Amino acid sequence: MTLRKVNNNVNDLPVHWICLLKKGNVTPMFKTTLLTGLISVSAVLGLTESAKAVVINFDSLAGNTVITNQFPEATFTSNSGFEIRTLTGSFGASAPNVILATNTTGTPNTNQDIFVNFAQAVNNLSFRIVGDNSTSPGLVNIFTSGVLAGQVNMVADGNGSTSDLVNLASFTNITSISMTSITDPGGIGYDDFTFDVAPAQSVPEPTTMLGLLTSGGFLVTSRRKFKQQLKATVKA
């Protein structure tokens, strides 16, 4: 059930209610109570906000920075004994940085897995791969609530100077991904992780739900009174 936002304005009511209210056939108290009830219901149910668009491109960080949890929307890790670091160079993606897997001394080891865990489920996820030397450099595993939802082959042009888009928009409510089975001869890097984060939906407290039920009962009663007043208006 979806309610549009109701302001304290008669014009925000359904058309048949507006007709009655504007004809002046209701008492001021009834009008005020009606508006208050509708506002209470809309406040509890709320409106779905627009999804939050996020771009993580690592460009605000210095080169050779170890990437972990710098971004509140996502955490980046690699296999045990390896790290993820920034590398200065656009390779056709956003400048100045991309990321790649390294050992703990910073030496690139770009065939290692990279794992991205999202703080909230995301949609419309995409990212770019860079430094590829083959047309099929590896796989992406997509997870929803820890369950494998699908696996996608990364497709590239084999030109290490350009970037290639990996589009996962067909998957929804993604909670994590892993870039794995990297077979590219020189390994690959990554950049420009883009996604939408849907706002968290709060669950009304029991006392709030009681208020909602009360408001709901009020609306039923108000509708009954509306019909009675409408009949009286017609007879008049």
Q: Which residue has the higher pLDDT, 52 or 168?
A: 168
Mean pLDDT of the chain: 81
> Which residues have a Cβ under 8 Å from the Cβ of 47 and sit 6 or more positions away?
3, 4, 5
> Which residues have a Cβ under 8 Å from the Cβ of 211 and sit 6 or more positions away?
40, 44
pLDDT band at 50 (very low <50, low <70, confident <90, very high): confident
Give tens-digit pLDDT for 142-164: 999 999 999 999 999 999 999 99
Cis peptide before 96 (omega within 30 of 0): yes
Compute the average pLDDT of residues 103-111: 96
In the chain the first and final C-alpha atoms are separated, in Å, by 36
Q: How far from 52 is each of 21, 60, 108, 128, 199, CA to CA, in Å?
A: 39, 20, 33, 20, 7
Domains in the chain with CATH codes: 10-48+202-235 (no CATH), 52-197 (2.60.120.260)
Compute the average pLDDT of residues 217-230: 58
pLDDT band at 5 (very low <50, low <70, confident <90, very high): very low
> Which residues have a Cβ under 8 Å from the Cβ of 221 and sit 6 or more positions away?
none
